[in-house]
């Protein structure tokens, strides 16, 4: 075994479920809601595991915008998977804002499910450097 071989980066997985509600609107839930990152150079993987057949991920924005910890999100060709990396060198909290659309190119209004009384913004990434 080669002692100089670099280990694979740690990966944190998050599952996304989009549900169509009775009133025709959509709601997204994320599991886990809070992603605790404790290693440097961690890959964050978000997969659309359950959704109506025509729903895809169109874009992802990071809040705050002027951060330097998370890479630009990369969306798979089929719109069901997003990856980004987290250098995790600074203790901070970030929120991801997903935009969904239909396979026909229409933008869909999808609200994040509200959690608890305060209704926090999810998914949340919590950086805790080693």
How deeply is 65 buried, as exposed, middle or buried, from its count of CB atoms within 10 A (0-12, 13-18, 19+)?
exposed
pLDDT reported for residue 114:
63
pLDDT bin (cut points 50, 70, 90) of residue 60 is very high
How deeply is 119 buried, as exposed, middle or buried, from its count of CB atoms within 10 A (0-12, 13-18, 19+)?
exposed
User: Is the whole-model pTM more than 0.85?
Assistant: yes
What is the per-residue DSSP string for the chain?
Answer: --TTPPPPPPEEEEEEEEEE-TTS-EEEEEESSEEEE-SSSEEEEEEEEE--TTEEEEEEEEESTT-SSBPPPEE-TTSSEEEEEE---S-EEEEEEEEEEETTS-EE-EEEPP-TTTT--SSEEEE---
Please, what is the average pLDDT of the chain? 90
């Amino acid at each position: 075994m080669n002692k100089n071989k670099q280990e694979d980066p740690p990966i944190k997985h998050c599952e996304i479920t989009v549900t169509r509600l009775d009133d025709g609107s959509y709601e997204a839930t994320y599991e886990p809601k809070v992603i605790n990152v404790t290693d440097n150079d961690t890959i964050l993987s978000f997969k659309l595991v359950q959704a109506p057949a025509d729903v895809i991920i169109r874009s992802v924005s990071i809040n705050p915008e002027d951060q330097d910890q998370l890479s630009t999100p990369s969306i798979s060709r089929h719109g069901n998977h997003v990856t980004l990396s987290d250098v995790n060198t600074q203790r901070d909290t970030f929120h991801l804002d997903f935009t969904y659309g239909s396979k026909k190119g229409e933008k869909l209004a999808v609200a994040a499910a509200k959690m608890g009384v305060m209704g926090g913004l999810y998914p949340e990434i919590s950086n805790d450097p080693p």
